[in-house]
Amino acid sequence: MRSFVRGALAAILLPLWLAAGQTGQTAAQNHTVETQAVENQSSDSLPSAYATAEGDSAAVIGVDDVVTIAALNSDEISKAWRVAASGDLTLPILGRVRAAGLTEAQLEQELTVRLKEFVRNPQVTVFISEFHGHPATVSGAVEKPGVVQLKGATTLFEALVLAGGPKEAGPTVTLTRAREYGTIPYANAKTSPDGMYSVLELPLKDVLQRDSAAANVAVLTNDVVTVSKDPKIRRMVYVAGEVARPGAIELVTQNKVSFSQAIAMAGGLTRIAKPGHTVLRHVDKNGLEIASTRVDAKRILSGQDKDLTLQDGDIVIVPSSRLAIYLETATSTAITSSVYILGRL
């Protein structure tokens, strides 16, 4: 909230300050505006993206973030700047200024001190206008698993919201943090057997109660949040027809499998297969077909066509020459009869 208020205020004041700047020219008016330096330096040594500052959980600037500076009588630096891979800003007049690891208020203070050499009574406002350098991963039984960008101090509850919320979830949520970024300050947190991670497992029902202690555990940059899957729900991809071992692939630890991997797990195509007429169908939880398309399995397997991603409910049907009859029977057989489990991923 603090970042939002500061950002809105600076957005209003910036054009006014720039207009007023005509009466207070800086000592380095003729400096050439430098472009933002982007170095190929590793950012592994940079501080974690967020820290609790003065009880305000202030957002900390990270690599690749965009910060907007509004400085009275300093038109040259009053604009948006991207933080380089080194963690620095390269500014006209001031040169290189460390930004990553600082809060907005700390960067304001640093710029104010540096500007005193050129401007009388400098007034500076800084806010993070774009967050890019604060990734965390939310995986498992959520609507949109993947990498999310943390925008300011983020709780475990808020991280789940960023990922669309739980979906077909089990009973627990696990927060994992590499020890190089610190330990999880929670009584039940444990260290992994290899000593490299701090791990906290919490009941999902507690995390979903927004005012609970579990819901308000802080999620930091590079943390991994994993929602367990409902063990009663089986997620299947079916491969039927002219393959060596027709059956199903159970998705246990991942949400998808490639088309080529599924065919390989089914033992490949038979000699009488018609791969150019392969059909990909998708059925919902009620067994109703909601999508269907024809693909050329041979071209996909040879790399001529792009590989496809298969998810729960997808059915691959590789027909023989008796195409019409085959397609009608293969779909129902694939999902209604006892199937051979080709593997679990």
Residues of the chain where predicted confidence (pLDDT) is lower than 50: 1-5, 8-56, 323-333, 335-338
Give the pLDDT score at 7.
52
Taking the whole predicted model, whether its pTM rises above 0.75 is answered as no
The 8 Å CB, 24+ separation contacts for 162-166 are 162/138, 163/138, 163/225, 166/141, 166/142, 166/204, 166/208, 166/227
Give the pLDDT score at 213.
92
Domain stop point among 229, 246, 276: 229
Task: Return all residues near 148 (Cβ < 8 A) that are at least 6 apart.
Answer: 135, 136, 137, 138, 159, 162, 163
In sequence order, what are the beta bridge partners of 155? 218
Q: What is the CATH number of the domain that holds 101?
A: 3.30.1950.10
Domain stop point among 229, 264, 282: 229
Indicate whether 21 and 81 sit together in one domain.
yes
In sequence order, what are the beta bridge partners of 136? 148
Indicate whether 212 and 246 sit together in one domain.
no
Q: What is the CATH number of the domain that holds 307?
A: 3.10.560.10
Give the pLDDT score at 291.
80
Domain stop point among 74, 108, 130: 130
Indicate whether 154 and 193 sit together in one domain.
yes
How many independent structural domains does the chain possess? 3
Indicate whether 222 and 278 sit together in one domain.
no
Indicate whether 21 and 121 sit together in one domain.
yes
Give the pLDDT score at 340.
57
Which amino acid, 345?
Answer: L
Give the pLDDT score at 150.
84
Task: Return all residues near 212 (Cβ < 8 A) that are at least 6 apart.
Answer: 206
Distances (CA, A) of 340 to 179, 275, 303: 42, 22, 28
Specify the DSSP element, H or E, that contains 27: none
